[in-house]
Structure 1
């Protein structure tokens, strides 16, 4: 076991696969000598050279389009976007090309590409660099969406994302980059579509994603002092979604709150709530609740940003209200 930060775990997952497969390349803005906008690609250019770790122009459309073409013709590209907000510039390439090509070609080609997307608020980066746009991606058939919350999950899910023959959108919460944890560098890949029960409990289920997993665990720890035992589930992959683990937990607790950093309107939290209502309704003793960011652009002001984005106290309030 080795102690790594979340960002180091992502890098080491890429390094491990790049050593094994010369067809894996990295491309994006400043991913080479600079080491990536958030330092995630680090020294990979020194190990693999500029042919495999390529700096690109400032054009997300070109970055994603290049990844699509490379994947369709035999390489396994990992494209980095500086912020998930900028995927909007490459949405045609993602939605109309990457997500559709394998289907439209009758499976005669594969699209083994990973798009890394730093996401979320908390770095005081204001409205255009702090969004959580996972609902846009999960809406599109043909895209897989991964969202790790710990260094171990980041490492294991990166391995699986690179191995997958379909486009994988790999979301990384910026606030988690410095978080440390134990990682087994020889671990098996974590399969896509397998959730993780981060904390067991009997009284209520919390389904949380990304940074909100840690807010939920913090809330659960404080609630335990009041005799309330909350189960915390991290889906780890938003699509494919592990319905079985979620349903099993709800059968035990009969209550569920979904916590994400997205704005509530049109959120993927709403999709999870709908799935539970359609398939697990008889096990519910209360309506499904959501704790999400307010329906507002993320403010630059630290005080206002903290007001807009949910935290452990908002989760505690929602739990006590439901109970």
Structure 2
């Protein structure tokens, strides 16, 4: 499949308005440092999106923003929708805050806090929950997917193969202990999860492989090269990779508290490459919150950390996972499987 044609067809499909819920838009005007700006927002957008838009226009980061005159009293939390603010079209307000400087920051330190985080919600544990239903029906989330599809330019590293399933594989702390790699504490080969290349070689006959990492493109490319997953003579090929750009922020509840996090929406891939769907796609990640929009396709793997320890060297997670993936690949559809029970399935398969 030619990527240009796939993207064109997908965009035409995904951006059609006939099956999309109608959203109301308003235009707001604000002044910062004597300059007037205009920002357009949908009523399904959140206060978080307003702050992000102000940051994009003025480079004043959200934590420095002081918004005056938009609402009476204190600005609602990030999770609140623009609809809830009951704003009139053309509403004026003032933004006060110092723009972000352009000083150099180590990209490794910028990437790590997002991916090395113990705060998690495993959406695959209850894929039919009310929270999941709301996520899927949320107009903002649907629009964010359409916007990601329109903005995304996927470069195929290797051709997609007819009839293959799709494995979407996370990188940091799923197949790699990131911290010692980026710090230089350990050589790349000792940071990889045990059995990484054997795992990829075992599943490659059944799956096209996509690596989707919540990191910047330059560091994603560097990590894959250092691990020998690209540019090396292996019995598997990576079809394409995605970085953090197609991800977007969603709003959950964790232990009754508001929880803001990013998500990997498989619909983005399915729109660009319609040969893949919920019937033949599985997403492996150590963070269950990344499954928020596709909990049925998510399989949460135990995180791989402390690569220098004896415990880590004895890790056999990928060996078991290869058994599970090759097993389900023999079925016409993945929809009958509950991937959070994958270890039970492997246990039964290993019985004499």
Structure possessing the higher radius of gyration over alpha carbons: 2
Q: Give the number of the structure with larger relative contact order, counting CA–CA contacts within 8 Å between residues 6 or more apart.
A: 2
User: TM (normalized to structure 2)?
Assistant: 0.32
User: TM (normalized to structure 1)?
Assistant: 0.34
